[in-house]
Structure 1
Amino acid sequence: MLPSIIIFALFTYYPMYGIVIAFKNFTPAEGIMGSSWAGLKYFKQYFNSYQFGLTIKNTIIISLYTIAVTFPLPVIMGLLVNQMKAQKFKKFFQVSTYLPHFISTVVMAGMLILFLSPSTGIIAKLVGLLGFKLPNLMGSAKAFPHIYVWSEAWQHVGWDSILYIATLSSVDPTLYEAATMDGANKWHKMIHIDVPALLPTATIMFIMRMGSVMSIGFEKVYLLQNTLNSTSSEIISTYVYKMGLVSSQYSLSAAIGLFNNIINLILLLAVNFISSKMSDTSLI
């Protein structure tokens, strides 16, 4: 365990002392410890800014929408793959659904921008053949959450289903044999054997997902963001980037990031507590 402990100590726990800049008037010239104290100044600045409500709302909407779509789909896919008997088709199906996971975020964003272009995009061409005109979806604030979430589902659902497929592969075959002897069909076996087998794993994954509700992948949102859709694409992580690295307001960005992580921690503990009370599955 020593290598893992050293890595965590150096790259996870040691840098945490830098959180103190959220409470200081930090300047690189004076350093973290040399900068003067500011107290809760930057937290109040964020809470009173016009971007506070917008970034919180957009982050929650996109995050919960993503969980609602991408959490159950891998479970359903795991159940479906477990029912496939033709091994060649099963392997082809698994590989074809895993491959999008390995597309980099930059390439994925570029593909979406090219495909959804209202003038030269492949989707616009196909829609044009049917006599319709594709609107500028990348410039639509209402369309942005749907584009982000469903492209996430297409890219990662196959890969995320591996955990559930592995869980189902460890189910005792004698359970299926006994169910067959009792007259159970495939649907009965799925409901009474497969689903209960997946519940502990699914519960743990759900708890972990809820612990990152306020944290959405920065790269993809930022790459798909433009001035036309910013009212629905400006989230906490992109705002932190703009304040910290673009505007050099390091203390403000640190305060926003710390607030974001505290909310995530509270949600994680709350969902874990509820899960421990309602079932025997929890992180502790």
Structure 2
Amino acid sequence: MKQAIERGKPPQAAGEAAYRPSLAIRLRRDKWLYLLLLPGLLYFALFKYVPMWGILLAFKNYQPFTGFWKSEWVGLEHFRLFFANPEFFLLLQNTLILSFLNLVFFFPAPIVLALLLNEVRRALFKRVVQTMIYIPHFISMVIVASLTYVFLTTEGGPVNELLLQHTGEKIAFLSDPDWFRPIILLQTIWKECGWGTIIFLAALSAVDVEQYEAATIDGANRWKQIWHITLPAIRSTIVILLILRMGSVLDNGFEQIYLMLNPLNRSAAEVFDTYVYAMGITQGAFSYSTAVGLFKSVVGIILVLGTNWLAKKFGESGLY
């Protein structure tokens, strides 16, 4: 038994309590596994946890020449200034509208596409389609914005040229605030919809084929099979991704919005991400912009925890 304990193994004698090896024994026994774990732990410690000290800037009046620790502590002053700013409600409105459109139109799009691909029986055709819809994910957002400009510009853009031929008028898609949100939504769907199907296709591959065979024998058509077998099988995956998605409700993606932003559509395009950039980088208000970013993070955490709580109330497993 002593040798078994030293090796970190439970005793085999009948009636003896289960033995749990100590931390020292487990470290000595599985030292190579823990060594493989070390790079990941160092990455998260150095690049995820240590930088979190930077949130203290939100409570200081940071001056580069004074330094981080010697800058004046102002408490919640930057938060009060932010909430009292007349632009706060404009930023909140624009951010929430874009997030709502993404939740309603973009979030279900990969699910629908995955269900359609799952019904394809020709393997070669399915692989070709998957490859084609994955490609936009690897295209830089700068390229996507440039393509959007080329197609929608009033100066020779093919879309406006067709409109001119058929209606005699052109539409200023790129400068009209009413068209900004549809353009952003279409860009997002085109670029990321195919990539988002990977997780759902993986979940669909785990569905027991015998369930479909039994449903077919019972007379269920394809739509009923999808509703009663396929969707319930991937429901937990959908819920988990929805919970994670709620954490980015106030995060619309800086690069895409910034590339499509211009003075004419600013009333619909200015969001928290571009505001943080404008205040922090262009105007040097580091503490103020940190406070805005911290506000976004806190709201994201609250939404994730709240959505996870609701999911567990409705019988789902949730994140934890």
Q: Pick from 238, 253, 268: which aligns with 2:304? A: 268
Counterpart in the other structure of 2:257: 221
1:28-75 deviation line (CA, Å, top 9, x unaligned): 111111101111111111111121111111111111111211111111
User: Do residues 258 (structure 1) and 313 (structure 2) align?
Assistant: no
User: Do residues 100 (structure 1) and 142 (structure 2) align?
Assistant: no
1:228-243 maps to which residues of 2 (within 5 A)? 228-243=264-279
- For 1:280 and 1:74, how far apart are their aligned partners in 2? 21
User: Do residues 174 (structure 1) and 210 (structure 2) align?
Assistant: yes
User: Do residues 247 (structure 1) and 283 (structure 2) align?
Assistant: yes
- For 2:90 and 2:319, how far apart are their aligned partners in 1? 32
- For 2:178 and 2:220, how far apart are their aligned partners in 1? 46
SS in 2 for 1:137: coil
Counterpart in the other structure of 1:73: 109
User: Do residues 89 (structure 1) and 125 (structure 2) align?
Assistant: yes
% same residue: 39
Distance 1:136 1:281, change over 3 A: same
Deviation, structure 1 residue 132:
4.0
- Report the count of equivalent residues: 284
Report the residue type matching 1:242 in the other structure: A
- For 1:252 and 1:281, how far apart are their aligned partners in 2? 38
Question: CA RMSD for the aligned pairs?
Answer: 1.2
1:40-51 maps to which residues of 2 (within 5 A)? 40-51=76-87
Structure 1 unaligned regions, length at least 5: none
SS in 2 for 1:213: coil
Counterpart in the other structure of 1:194: 230
Q: Pick from 110, 131, 134: which aligns with 2:170? A: 134
Deviation, structure 1 residue 92:
2.2
Counterpart in the other structure of 2:26: none
- Structure number with larger C-alpha Rg: 2
Q: Pick from 9, 13, 16: which aligns with 2:49? A: 13
SS in 1 for 2:174: helix
Q: Which moves more between the two structures, 168-177 or 244-253?
A: 168-177
TM-score by length of 2: 0.86
Report the residue type matching 1:231 in the other structure: S
Deviation, structure 1 residue 114:
1.5
SS in 2 for 1:118: coil
Q: Which moves more between the two structures, 194-203 or 176-185?
A: 176-185
Report the residue type matching 1:51 in the other structure: E
Q: Which moves more between the two structures, 117-126 or 21-30?
A: 117-126
Distance 1:45 1:168, change over 3 A: same
1:214-250 deviation line (CA, Å, top 9, x unaligned): 1110001001000000001000010000000000000
Q: Pick from 204, 217, 221: which aligns with 1:185? A: 221
Q: Which has the higher contact order (CA 8 A, sep 6+)?
A: 1
- For 1:133 and 1:173, how far apart are their aligned partners in 2? 54
Deviation, structure 1 residue 127:
2.4
SS in 2 for 1:33: coil
Report the residue type matching 1:28 in the other structure: P
- For 1:268 and 1:153, how far apart are their aligned partners in 2? 23
- For 1:64 and 1:107, how far apart are their aligned partners in 2? 25
Report the residue type matching 2:274 in the other structure: T
Q: Pick from 120, 123, 128: which aligns with 2:159? A: 123
- For 2:266 and 2:167, how far apart are their aligned partners in 1? 30
Deviation, structure 1 residue 281:
2.3
Structure 2 unaligned regions, length at least 5: 1-36
Counterpart in the other structure of 1:155: 191
- For 2:293 and 2:223, how far apart are their aligned partners in 1? 46
TM-score by length of 1: 0.97
- For 2:39 and 2:105, how far apart are their aligned partners in 1? 37
Deviation, structure 1 residue 27:
0.8
- For 2:43 and 2:55, how far apart are their aligned partners in 1? 19
Deviation, structure 1 residue 106:
0.8
Distance 1:40 1:282, change over 3 A: same
Deviation, structure 1 residue 267:
0.8
- For 2:59 and 2:316, how far apart are their aligned partners in 1? 40
